[in-house]
Structure 1
Amino acid sequence: MDKNNFIIENIAKPHELERMFRYDSKAFKKLFSHAWEQNPDSQVLAVWYERLNFKETAQSEKATLLQKGFLFMGILAILAGISARIIFHFVEQHTIAPINLAFGILPFIGAYFIYKNKPQKKVLYTLALLFLISGLYLNMLPLSNKDSIILVYLHLPIFLWGLMGLAFTGNEYSNSRTRLAYLKFNLEFCILYASMAISGMLLAALTMRLFSFIDLDIEDFYFRNVVLFGAAALAIVTTYLVSMNLKLAKNITPYIAKIFSPLVLITLVVYLITVVSVGKNPFLDRNFLIAFNGILLGVLAVTIFSITESGTDDKKNISDYINFALIVLALIIDSVALSAIVFRLSSYGITPNRLAVLGVNILIWGNLIWIMVSYMRFLQNKTGPSPIQNAVAKYLPVYGLWAAIITFTFPFIFN
């Protein structure tokens, strides 16, 4: 068989053409040019022509979009780094609260989301107005260690995280799948940011060590002008990389969810058995109650991200039963925590901290009930996985709303 006529001689054998293309695509393309010239009316070769050339066109279009997105990301990263450095200067002067550093990063991530999703004007104006109000409000509060002010510092980032979700979802803010995509983005962002941050810390340690050999202590200067700038800029770069569907983060997150869910379940069961055996009482021990709530939030986060990564497959696997067990366990923990908080409120009176913890425990309890019922119906083959994901996605704004209530009302109620 003449090699130069391979494509022509196998024009009626799609399997052979595909086999050769996969074996040596470069050789196939060279032979294809000659075959296409000799057989311009062939429908089979016409399909191959579109396949090969469309791939090149798509790549060039992607490269153009990559350049535009990359340039905009670079500008935002520089602005975020400069903003964070300026804000840190005022934090050092004790004129503003450290939580203001969030405004050196989050608005720029939001700007990238807006650039990519192009939301309607009402969404854009809402985001701009709420960010502006939040920044002004925060800096009108007195710098104080009062419980109500500290609660603002703790809950304002949650509210801003909700605003970031609105920027991410854009015009599809009410779509459950888009909200779940935002949760996936957060997990992939954390993994990628942590990976690059570790590399950055190693570079920083190496740099300072090298300068120490020539008797120069650059630690303070390096932290203020390089580390801080880099940490803020890296957040924008990570956002860009995750939005470009980087395979590293997307491939690893499902495995993290599958690995951590059973480990968390085993750890919690052992921990709770130990707690009962040593006689720890969350009703009387305040620190233990705080730890109990921390465990609850951790379990909720692991469960939600595991549900987010489970996809839309109706087929059940061991992960679904592990998730259901985690939800039941979290519900037990939350019920105990709620009882302890009500006991402390009735015994010791109302404080901002107790009221805030009571509210968030009630919200989590309601969310867990919804997720548990949806999961139970799924495991009983009464529904698919969509109601479970809806129980997660549709409840997200409730947490943002509660964070807003605490942020904007508690300093006035508990003045």
Structure 2
Amino acid sequence: MAGDARLEAQIDQWRGYVRRRRAISAADVEEMEDHLRAQVDDLAATGLDDDEAFLVAVKRMGNLDDVSREFAREHSERLWKQLVLVPEPPVAAGAARWRELAVVLALAVGAGLAVKVGILAFDEEVTLMRNVGLLVLPFLAGYFAWKRRVTSRVAAAVLAPAVLLAVVINVYPFAPGGSTELLAVIHAPVVLWTLLGVVYMGGRWRSDAGRMDFVRFTGELVVYMALLALGGGVLVGLTFGIFGMVGVDLEPILEDWIMPLCVPGALVVAAWLVEAKKSVVENIAPVLTKVFTPLTIVMLLSVLPVLLGAGGLVDVDRGLLILMDAILVLVLCLLLYSISARDSLAPPGFFDVLQLVLVGAALAVDGVMLTAMLTRIAEFGASPNKVAALGLNLVLLAHLVRSGWLALRFLRGRSGFAAVERWQTRYLPAYGIWAAVVVVVFPPLFGFA
């Protein structure tokens, strides 16, 4: 039974790679998987074990050389390089890379120009902020729609709610400077990012493996955006220094052109880099999670007594509660990224214990915050900000409680790590749904105040 589970996990990983390839349509995946399974069965009948049969079967699938090569680079510890690393056809591969680069650069320029036009078109900054996701993310979605060969049905399923969201945030009569408008600004990108996930997975939103791929992509995108921001900041700083020494002030150009054009374009370029250089970042991901998980635990355990010692829960500063909400969201992101970077076939280890401690510390902080929020609502009444924060913390609470329980079962050997992964991916839509409720329902519920 253990061998069967390992084989199924390997086939799941292979299937995830196949589905991410633009050259292979989703309709062909099942037929190809049937062929792979048949080859595995034939090879197993000759006396090979499941691992050997699987590796040799993938090697024999000649039409998947590109897929196998990438899979080999990422799973070198399982001897993929020796079994499936085949010579890459330089001409065809080079032409495809240049074609994709041209598409990416065109979309990056389009995203920058869209933001620039938005700056000129919208008189108020808050109006631009409500629409910035609608100006940028369609170009990123366009890249994945092209790369995944998304069907018109999937495109329509994503476009309809996106259009509805655009109408809502631009038609609602928000009170100037009101809370519901600020909440819409914060939560609209979450809804759009959820829709982007559907495009990224080629419409396979029900796929656990596809959702985990999107989690992994999101984490890697943050890493690349940080690297691009650091490099770009150094380059801009040096350029400003040189021009400043000769009396030329570039600050107006930075505000009017460089920032509006480069930041949105960098998002598209970073997404392309994640797709093109998966093996580089996925070697970094486990290191990042192992460094920041213990540091985050120390931070949470440090702030918990601060929250408890801040006086009466009614008197806890609202800014502190907002900051703690942001910290809990970051903890959740770290948890998801850690799980996505983990080898699902590895046995429980010390790092899994650290993750359970992380979840426990986050639950303790979340419990204190929920108590403070409920106390404040009982004392001062409900408001859009309080109810939105309370709802987010309840969504986080359910996620963390179940995650902790499944992690504990895994550590005690009562379930596999796959159960932990499935819970993360299947709960993700709850955040998109809650964000949609805040954007669409809260404004009329609270009189657009």
TM-score norm. by structure 2 comes to: 0.76
**Equivalence for 1:195:** 227
The residue type equivalent to 1:234 in the other structure is A
**Equivalence for 1:289:** 321
Q: Is the 8 A contact 1:176 1:390 kept in 2?
A: yes
**Equivalence for 1:106:** 137
Which range is displaced more, 80-89 or 212-221?
212-221
Query: Which of 132, 146, 149 is residue 178 of structure 2 equivalent to?
Result: 146
**Equivalence for 2:435:** 403
2:87 counterpart of 1:87: no
Separation in structure 2 between the aligned mates of residue 95 and residue 336 of structure 1, nearest angstrom: 33
**Equivalence for 2:163:** 132
Query: Which of 341, 346, 356 is residue 378 of structure 2 equivalent to?
Result: 346
The residue type equivalent to 2:336 in the other structure is I
Secondary structure of the corresponding residue to residue 194 of structure 1? helix
**Equivalence for 2:291:** 259
Secondary structure of the corresponding residue to residue 313 of structure 1? coil
2:431 counterpart of 1:390: no
Separation in structure 2 between the aligned mates of residue 56 and residue 167 of structure 1, nearest angstrom: 29
1:182 Cα offset (Å):
0.7
The residue type equivalent to 2:433 in the other structure is L
Secondary structure of the corresponding residue to residue 170 of structure 1? coil
1:195 Cα offset (Å):
0.8
Structure 1: gaps of 5 or more residues: 1-50
Query: Which of 234, 238, 241 is residue 206 of structure 1 equivalent to?
Result: 238
The residue type equivalent to 2:290 in the other structure is K
The residue type equivalent to 1:75 in the other structure is A
**Equivalence for 1:65:** 96
The residue type equivalent to 1:306 in the other structure is S
Separation in structure 2 between the aligned mates of residue 263 and residue 361 of structure 1, nearest angstrom: 22
Larger Rg: 1
Q: Is the 8 A contact 1:282 1:289 kept in 2?
A: no
1:275 Cα offset (Å):
4.5
2:275 counterpart of 1:243: yes
Task: Summarize deviations over 1:197-218 as a string: whole Å, max 9, x none.
Answer: 2211222222222222332222
Which range is displaced more, 359-368 or 196-205?
196-205
**Equivalence for 1:30:** none
Separation in structure 2 between the aligned mates of residue 270 and residue 66 of structure 1, nearest angstrom: 48
Structure 2: gaps of 5 or more residues: 1-83
Separation in structure 2 between the aligned mates of residue 61 and residue 335 of structure 1, nearest angstrom: 56
Q: Is the 8 A contact 2:348 2:411 kept in 1?
A: yes
Query: Which of 216, 228, 244 is residue 184 of structure 1 equivalent to?
Result: 216
Q: Is the 8 A contact 2:113 2:261 kept in 1?
A: yes
From the superposition, tell whether residues 180 and 95 of structure 1 become closer, same or farther in structure 2 (CA, over 3 Å). Answer: closer
2:403 counterpart of 1:371: yes
1:131 Cα offset (Å):
2.1
Q: Is the 8 A contact 1:281 1:288 kept in 2?
A: no
Separation in structure 1 between the aligned mates of residue 189 and residue 371 of structure 2, nearest angstrom: 28
Q: Is the 8 A contact 2:300 2:365 kept in 1?
A: no
1:408 Cα offset (Å):
0.6
Task: Summarize deviations over 1:44-85 as a string: whole Å, max 9, x none.
Answer: xxxxxxx99x6143x433223212211211211111111111
Task: Summarize deviations over 1:173-204 as a string: whole Å, max 9, x none.
Answer: 11111111111111111111111122112222
The residue type equivalent to 2:369 in the other structure is A
2:201 counterpart of 1:175: no
TM-score norm. by structure 1 comes to: 0.82
2:154 counterpart of 1:97: no
Separation in structure 2 between the aligned mates of residue 402 and residue 93 of structure 1, nearest angstrom: 27
The residue type equivalent to 1:126 in the other structure is A
Separation in structure 2 between the aligned mates of residue 172 and residue 160 of structure 1, nearest angstrom: 17
Separation in structure 2 between the aligned mates of residue 101 and residue 360 of structure 1, nearest angstrom: 23
Separation in structure 2 between the aligned mates of residue 103 and residue 318 of structure 1, nearest angstrom: 43
Query: Once superposed, what is the RMSD of the aligned Cα atoms?
Result: 2.1
The residue type equivalent to 2:423 in the other structure is A
Separation in structure 1 between the aligned mates of residue 380 and residue 133 of structure 2, nearest angstrom: 35
Which range is displaced more, 369-378 or 63-72?
63-72
